[in-house]
Amino acid sequence: MKIKFHYGWIIVFVTFLTFLAVQGVRLSFGAFVEPWESEFSMDRGTISLISTLSFIVYGLSQPIIGRLVDKLGARIILSFSTFLVGISILLTSFVHHPWQLFFLYGIMVSLGVGGASNVAATVVVTNWFNEKRGLAFGIMEAGFGAGQMFLVPGSLMLIHWFNWKMTVIILGAFLIFVVFPIVLLILRNHPKEKGLSPIGGEVIEEDIDAKKALNTNLSIWQVFLKREFWFLILPFAICGFTTTGLMDTHLIPFSHDHGFSTSVTSAAISILAGFNILGILISGVVADRWSSRKMLFFLYVVRAISICILLYSHNSGLLIVFAVLFGLVDFATVAPTQLLATQYFKEYSIGFILGWLFLSHQIGSALGAYLPGLFYSETGSYNISFYLSIVILVGAAILNLLLPEPMKYANKTKTLV
């Protein structure tokens, strides 16, 4: 009998929900900047340090998470990381001193977010999909956009209606009592655990597995000598700088500085998130059908153009135009980047490669969170940060265009099967 609805799509839904909740909480950081400034008498630069520490901890955890996923499986890592984020964000409601906020949010929440991240989710989706993998990555990644759409403006409105402490209690309870049980009970690491084959069928890969084991044990550091590694790593770091670093930390305070009300800012964030979901889904489909390297070139160029528009968004109309354009290319870079990584380095440990890839993203995010806050404290403006972002985005586009087409690698690996 043919299975009309494959369990692999339930796996994608669970990873989508995990990202919506966990990453949505992380992306809501900007909503707490001004309340925490008032509550703890900290300036913008110091608040940005919390976000910077968060990204550093998140990033450093990624290679370790990659190894743990290889040993323990994605189900254990994703479920208990979700619980850790929930309990840690809830406990922030009891803090009375800035150092407690640095510890709970900057370290504990970030460790949980690092576990419930692309590294573990990409490994489990790769196990379940030998076809339509780009689409599956796109749906999975759309969880970021959904979290951005619902939890960021939701946090803003909850803070407006109640206060920031009640907001983190609600977010923590949602993670602990809703998301954690779903992930733990439903997620499965591999189709064999359900007596199924991956979507697209089984692939004969004994020789590839043997080569993977050999490369993992003896020559994994040779990855760092490959041009493909660095031409993926550096643009992805720039991606982190300009998205989760710069925009997710500073867009809300930037909008308020320009005189936009909470309702206008929330609307812009919601529109950005909605088009982010659309862009992620489109990128997943296109990545299965078109050159990922050319696609990344296009995405980074469009992102640079959108930031040019934001520089002059002194009215709500331009802010909305920016939200639409930036949203379309916000997280759309992740699916083609992940796909290229799995194609270039299929003979190595995928968890290890993805761990380093997302470490670079978080290093970029940390710099993107801290430097604009520092520049703002010194100059009272975000202009320097935006001009810098435009320049490095152009550089990222060029590096991706210089990558070779992965088909060359596919042809090489066919000879191993």
Provide the residue-wise pLDDT of the chain in tens; the chain has 417 residues: 444 678 989 999 999 999 999 988 988 888 888 899 888 888 877 888 888 888 888 888 877 887 888 788 899 999 999 999 999 999 999 998 888 999 999 899 999 998 998 888 888 988 898 888 778 887 888 888 788 788 988 998 899 898 999 999 999 999 999 999 999 999 999 899 888 888 877 765 544 454 444 455 445 677 777 888 899 999 999 999 999 889 988 888 888 787 888 788 888 888 998 898 898 888 878 877 888 899 999 999 999 999 999 888 778 888 899 999 999 998 889 888 988 887 888 776 677 777 788 889 888 988 998 898 889 888 888 899 999 999 999 999 999 999 888 764 444 434 333
Angle between helices 74-91 and 8-18 (to 10 degrees): 20
What pLDDT was estimated at residue 409?
43
Any domain includes 2: no
In a domain, 264, yes or no: yes
Q: Which of 116, 127, 214, 109 is nearest to 171 (CA)?
A: 109
Intra-chain end-to-end CA distance of the chain, in Å: 29
How many domains, the chain? 1
Contact 165, 39 (CB under 8 A): no
- Domain membership of residue 108 (yes or no) is yes
**Domain at 25, CATH number:** 1.20.1250.20
Cα dihedral 174/155/14/53 (nearest 10): -100
Answer yes or no: is 393 within a domain: yes
Cβ pair 12, 19 in contact under 8 A: no
3-state DSSP assignment of residue 407: helix
Q: Is residue 3 part of a domain?
A: no
Tokens of 193: 């655990």
Report if residue 405 sits inside a domain.
yes
The domain of 373 spans 8-414
Give the Cα separation of 273 and 136 in Å (integer): 19
Collapse the DSSP code of 294 into the 3-class scheme (helix H, G, I; strand E, B; otherwise coil) and give the result.
helix
Q: DSSP assignment of 4-60, as one string? A: SS-THHHHHHHHHHHIIIIIHHHHTHHHHHHHHHHHHT--HHHHHHHHHHHHHHHHH
Angle between helices 164-174 and 29-40 (to 10 degrees): 140
Of the candidates 140, 58, 173, 65, the one whose C-alpha atom is nearest the C-alpha of residue 107 is: 58
Dihedral, CA of residue 257, residue 258, residue 259 and residue 262, to nearest 10? -70
**Distances in whole angstroms, Cα of residue 49 to Cα of each of 52, 98, 385:** 5, 11, 16
Residue 328 to residue 302: CA distance in whole angstroms = 9
Determine the Cα–Cα distance for residues 54 and 104; give it in Å rounded to an integer.
Answer: 10
The pTM (predicted TM-score) of the whole model is 0.74
Rounded CA-CA distance 128/145 in Å is: 23
User: Which positions ≥6 away from 162 have C-beta within 8 Å?
Assistant: none
Q: What is the largest CA-CA distance in the chain?
A: 67
Characterize 281-309 residue by residue with b for buried, 16 or more Cβ atoms within 10 angstroms of its Cβ, and e for exposed: bebbebbbeebbbebbbbbbbbbbebbeb
User: How many beta carbons lie within 10 A of that of residue 33, not counting itself?
Assistant: 20
User: Is the residue at 406 inside a domain?
Assistant: yes
Query: Quick check: is 1 in a domain?
Result: no
Question: Looking at this protein, which amino acid is placed at residue 319?
Answer: L
Three-state DSSP at 341 gives helix
